[in-house]
Amino acid sequence: MRGEADTWPEMEAVARKMAEEVETESSGSSEAETESPRSVGRWGAAPVTGKTGKERVHSQVLKIREEDLCVLVEDKAANGRFVQHPRRLSFVLISRPNLPCSPLSGKEGTNPVVVRSSGERKKVNPRGEVSLANDDLIELIPGHHFFKLVLLPRESERGSYETAAKKARKEGDDVEAIRSFCPDSEKLPSTFRLLSVDGLPDWANTSCVSINDVVEGDVVAAILSNYMVDLDWLLSACPKLASIPQVMVIHGEGDGRQEYIQRKKPANWILHKPRLPISFGTHHSKAIFLVYPRGVRVVVHTANLIHVDWSNKSQGLWMQDFPWKSDDDNIDTPKVCGFEDDLVDYLAVLKWPEFTACLPGRGNVKINAAFFRKFDYSSATVRLIASVPGYHTGSNMRKWGHMKLRTILQECVFDREFRRSPLVYQFSSLGSLDEKWLAEFGASLSSGITEDRTPLGHGDPLIIWPTVEDVRCSLEGYAAGNAIPSPLKNVEKPFLKKYWAKWKADHSARSRAMPHIKTFTRYSDQKIAWFLLTSSNLSKAAWGALQKNNSQLMIRSYELGVLFLPSPVKTQACNFSCTDNNSSTKKVKQETKGDVEKRSKLVTMTWQGDRDSPEIISLPVPYQLPPEPYSSEDVPWSWDRGYSKKDVYGQVWPR
């Protein structure tokens, strides 16, 4: 919480005044609502904080002192209130019926309070009650606000109180970590960002982006790569696209949708569906390439070009601008730049129909895969991990899919703390898997060595996958399950049970924004060895499967992801922007302490340390690390089952 009272007497005065006001308002409450309180208050979206109660700011940490008086919160739209009982250091939440109109849904009805305690989610029906303890989470359904109960112990010494308060603030920062996620512009290319989610409070979308934050400025040519494309939504959500002279859409839509898009598209747009030589494959890559007079913007993300993906779901996006190569550069001279080779090799396989764009100062230029070698990618600190369909052998086998990831990780040196550290697989569609392939995939993701050349060794994976209850209580209700399209036969294989972990995203305020983001990572506490943001789900079609005694890799689909690695902190930095004419294409020397090369360190948003340090790269990992394994009550979501328990909109599944 911010702006707390300087002393306990001041805080107690605020609490006493609040309690008196609320008790007066509550004098007509039912017997169940006024049971033996020492101090009573209603809770909601606006906790009372600040010096002498003059400042009111929103916080998701509800701090209550283990004394006679409680610092409580009050809000007329709240649907519950707290009662502290004498001689007990826990609290009881008494739920009262919701107002006739729910703030979010606009529908009449009663919405429960949900309490997360001891690893379980408990629903509190109207006028019901549940005991609360320290660190419990309280969730408004279908509200946006999640509260963490933090009890501040009774202390006689001010110094002791300050220690307790500091700890409570730290826990509060963990809960609201995204509020303070504001990376410097110099670090933005080395991290990614979450997409904004409609309906969340402003602080929950801190440093998040929308499609209009990506497609901006004087674009002269654009290539949009995706699976699903809603042309009507796209042009209304991003009107800038209509003014770009040349636009190509590389898609994975079926024949019916393709014909519709062909009829509706602007005349200067070109459609291209890449060849799929192996059955059951898709063009699933999600990327945007924008050509500017000053350079190119490369964007890799996880959202289909449809409304719900850019509005209601947890998604991720990485982008970086790169300048044109200078006239002194000999383009034909080989240069060591893994990112450039990754990109051009992938684009070449797409085989789109070459088109011409008129570039200011450069005339008419043919836009093909080779065109993208005209840009200077030396400032890239990430690598691209792509999949393309085919039966890949020889050196090509290590260019794609999980074998590409294995190859890059084998060349990387990691800190010793990541030896045998765990893995996380997080995605939104589960293929038909077997234990043999899962071991093959795990071997690739366990690659890497330490500074003494010791292999990192096997990492035990957990699979983050929403439960039925997560989907039911999500922002979209059961409708969110349409974008988690895995059948029961894939989800309920017995060998998968030991891997299931919950989608918990309180610190990013996205527990109820169901994930369409796909990520794979290796971590130790809040430190990250490497992190992959990708279009790839967990399937053989996306990642490939080894065949013929491991001499061939078979991949069905097109996929694209960006891999974040610990990399040298460069003494030469290029803070370049295609849309800022004041940004320089020249590399500016940075100050360094000594000649010892430092490597970047990847951390989560909840890592406690000096984020201003040049080598610290904070990644907005939206889910909790370490993940919480399923309890015996949790059921993994599968979209072909029926669910009779109504969701937050009063619907059942299927509708």
> Mapping DSSP to helix (H, G, I), strand (E, B) and coil, where does residue 410 land?
helix
SS3 401: helix
- Check if 251 is active-site: no
Upper half-sphere CA count for residue 142 (Cβ side, 13 Å) = 25
Contact of 188 with 181, CB cutoff 8 Å: no
Q: Please, which contacts does 480-485 make with residues 24 or more away whose CB atoms are closer than 8 Å?
A: 480/312, 480/313, 480/514, 481/514, 481/637, 481/639, 481/653, 482/639, 483/308, 483/309, 483/313, 483/428, 483/514, 483/516, 484/428, 484/429, 484/514, 484/637, 484/639, 485/428, 485/429, 485/639
Task: Give the tokens for residue 432.
Answer: 């038909």
Six token digits for residue 298:
């490369």
Give me 44's structure tokens.
Answer: 């909601």
What DSSP assignment string belongs to 478-491? Answer: GGGGGGS---HHHH
Which residue among 144, 145, 392, 516 is the active-site one? Answer: 516
3-state secondary structure of 50: coil
Helix (H, G, I), strand (E, B) or coil at 164: helix
Contact 522, 421 (CB under 8 A): yes
Instruction: Identify whether the C-beta of residue 90 lies closer than 8 Å to the C-beta of residue 131.
Output: yes
Q: Is 518 annotated as a binding residue?
A: yes
One-letter amino acid at 493 equals K
SS (H, E, C) 15-28: HHHHHHHHHHHHHH
Beta pairing class for 246-250 and 269-272:
parallel
Q: Name the residue among 567, 477, 515 with its Cα closest to residue 316.
A: 515
Under 8 Å CB-to-CB from 47, ≥6 apart: which residues?
1, 56, 57, 58, 59, 62, 73
Runs of H (alpha helix) within 351-400 = none
**Alpha carbons 48 and 39: distance in angstroms, whole number:** 15
Residue 392 is among the residues annotated as catalytic for this protein: no
Alpha-carbon distances of 113 from 78, 147, 420, rounded to whole Å: 10, 11, 40
Residue 286 counted as an annotated binding residue: yes
Task: Give me 312's structure tokens.
Answer: 């209601």
CA distances to 142, 194, 211, 440, 624 from 316, in Å: 24, 4, 12, 27, 16
Q: Which of 144, 284, 301, 402 is catalytic?
A: 284
User: Hey, which residues are catalytic here?
Assistant: 284, 516
Binding site for substrate: which residues?
Answer: 286, 518
Binding site: which residues?
Answer: 286, 518
